[in-house]
Amino acid sequence: MITVSTDGIWRGPTMPRMGDMLPRPVQLTARHGVTIICAVQTLSAFHRLSGGDRAVSVGLILALAAAWGIVATRREGDWIDIAAVIATIGVGAWMHVLTHNGQAFVSGYASLFVAPFWYALPDSILPWACAVASITLSTMFVGQRDIGGGLGNGVGATFFGLAALFWGRVLRSSHANAQLVVELRESRDAEQRSAVVAERARLARELHDVLAHTLSSLSLHLESTRVLAKSREVDAEVVGRIDRAVALARTGLEEARDAVGTLRDDALPSPERLPSLVSEFERDSGVSAHFEETGTPAGLSPETRVALFRAAQEALTNVAKHAHATRVEVRLAWHPTEVALRVSDDGSGGAQTLPGGGNGLRGMRERAELAGGEMTAGRNGQGFTVEVRLPLSAAVAIGQRHSDD
C-alpha cells in the first residue's frame, strides 16, 4: 500500500525510488549517478590540482558518496535526509570551486529535483534554497564571472524546482486517490458482509420462531400420543409407527436447529460428523455401513461444510428408503485442491427421490454447485453411487460470486 504522510512527505519503503522505472541492472548506477558523474568530473581535473587539493578532492568524493547514498537509499523524509541533501549541495559546490568542472550544477539540479519531488513543502524549502543559491553563486563567481548568467541560472533553477514540486504533488495526489479508492472498496465490502450477516440472522430468527417451534409442538403431541396409545393397548404396529413419527420429528427438529446454526455460522454440520452419521444410519436402518477417510483434512467454507454433510445425509437416507441395499460404503477423500465424497451401495433400487420436499438429486446438485463444485449420480454395476466433489477454495469462489452479483 502506498504511504503518504499528512504533511505531504513520502515516507518509508514506499517512497518513490530513484531509477525504479529503469531496468534492474542499471538501477544501482542510476541511483548513484550523481556521485559517479561528480567523481569523474573531479578526477578529470587532477592534473591541474596540487597535492593538497588532490587529497581534499578525494575526501570530497567520499563525502559526496556518503551524503548522496543516504539520499538515494534511505528515503525516510526526516531531518537526516534533508541534511544529506544539503550536504550533497555543499560538497558539489566545493568540488566546483576546486576544479571548475561543474559539479555544483550536477549536485544542485539533482537536489532541486529530489527535494521538492520527495519532501514537498515546507520540508523542501531549505534544500531548495541551498540548491538555487549554489547554482547561482557558482555561475556568478567561479571561473569566469557572469552576474547576469548567474541570475538567469538561478531563475531557471527555481522554475525547475517548481516543476519537480508540481510533478511530485500530482503523483502524491494520484497515489492518495488510489489509496482512497481501495479504502472505499474495503468499506463497501464490509458493509455488504454486514448486510449479509444481518439478513442471515433475520432468517435464522424466522426459522427458529416458525419451524423449530412448530416441530417442537409436533414432537410433544406425538410423544403424548405414543404414551396414550400404549396406555390403551393400541395395536403394536400403530405404536411402532408413532415411535417412528416421534423419531422423525426429533430428527427434523435437530435439522432445523442445524439450519439455524448454519445461518448464524455456528455449530455447522461438518465432515467431522460423518462417522457418527454413518454409525447412526447403520443402527437405525440395519444396513451394514462403512466409513473411510483418506488424505489430509483442510479448512472449508461454511457452504462447503454444509454441502458435504447434507450430501452424505441425503444419500444415506435415499439408500434406506429406496435402494434395498445390504451394504453401504462412504468414502471421504481429501485432495490438494478438492475434497470428494462418495456414497456407494449394492442395492437394486435407484435414486428416484430424496427426502426434503422434492430437493432430491436436484437439490444435492444445486447445493454442490453453490459451493463451487459438482455432483454426479448413477448406477455402478452392482448398485448406485452418489459422488460430490467440492474445491477447497470454494470460499474464494463464493466471495467472487457474491461480489459479481
Query: How confident is residue 331, by pLDDT bands cut at 50, 70 and 90?
Result: very high
Would you tell me the crossing angle of helices 213-231 and 236-263 to the nearest 10 degrees?
160
Percentage of the chain beyond pLDDT 70 is 78
Domains observed in the chain: 12-186 (no CATH), 268-405 (3.30.565.10)
Please provide the distance, in angstroms rounded to a whole number, between the alpha carbons at the two ends of the chain: 27
pLDDT score recorded for residue 27? 66
What confidence tens digit (pLDDT) does each residue in 229-268 have?
777 777 878 777 887 787 777 777 777 766 666 666 555 6
pLDDT for 208 beyond 90: no
pLDDT-wise least confident of 119-123, 186-190, 292-296, 385-389: 119-123
What nine digits make up the cell of 192? 455488504
Q: What is the rounded distance in angstroms from the CA atom of residue 238 to the CA atom of residue 246?
A: 12
The amino acid that residue 114 corresponds to is V
Q: Give which of 89, 83, 75 is closest to 10, Cα–Cα.
A: 75
Q: What is the rounded distance in angstroms from the CA atom of residue 236 to the CA atom of residue 243?
A: 10
Please calculate the CA angle 164-167-169 and round it to the nearest 5 degrees.
110
Residue 351: phi and psi, rounded to 5, are -105, 70
Which of the two residues, 234 and 34, has the higher pLDDT score? 34
pLDDT score recorded for residue 7? 44
Q: What is the rounded distance in angstroms from the CA atom of residue 266 to the CA atom of residue 202?
A: 15
The amino acid that residue 335 corresponds to is H
Q: What is the rounded distance in angstroms from the CA atom of residue 268 to the CA atom of residue 69?
A: 58
Average the pLDDT over 186-210 and give the result: 74
pLDDT-wise least confident of 8-12, 36-40, 60-64: 8-12
Query: How confident is residue 207, by pLDDT bands cut at 50, 70 and 90?
Result: low
Contact 83, 119 (CB under 8 A): no
pLDDT for 67 beyond 60: yes
Query: How confident is residue 393, by pLDDT bands cut at 50, 70 and 90?
Result: low
What confidence tens digit (pLDDT) does each residue in 273-327 have?
899 889 888 888 888 899 999 998 887 877 788 888 888 888 888 888 776 788 8
pTM for the structure as a whole: 0.41
Which of the two residues, 80 and 256, has the higher pLDDT score? 80
Query: How confident is residue 342, by pLDDT bands cut at 50, 70 and 90?
Result: very high
pLDDT for 2 beyond 90: no
Mean pLDDT, the chain, whole residue set:
76
Which of the two residues, 210 and 154, has the higher pLDDT score? 154
Which of 13-22, 53-62, 163-172, 193-202 ranks highest by mean pLDDT? 53-62
pLDDT for 34 beyond 90: no
pLDDT score recorded for residue 6? 41
pLDDT score recorded for residue 12? 39
pLDDT for 91 beyond 50: yes
pLDDT score recorded for residue 213? 66
pLDDT score recorded for residue 340? 93
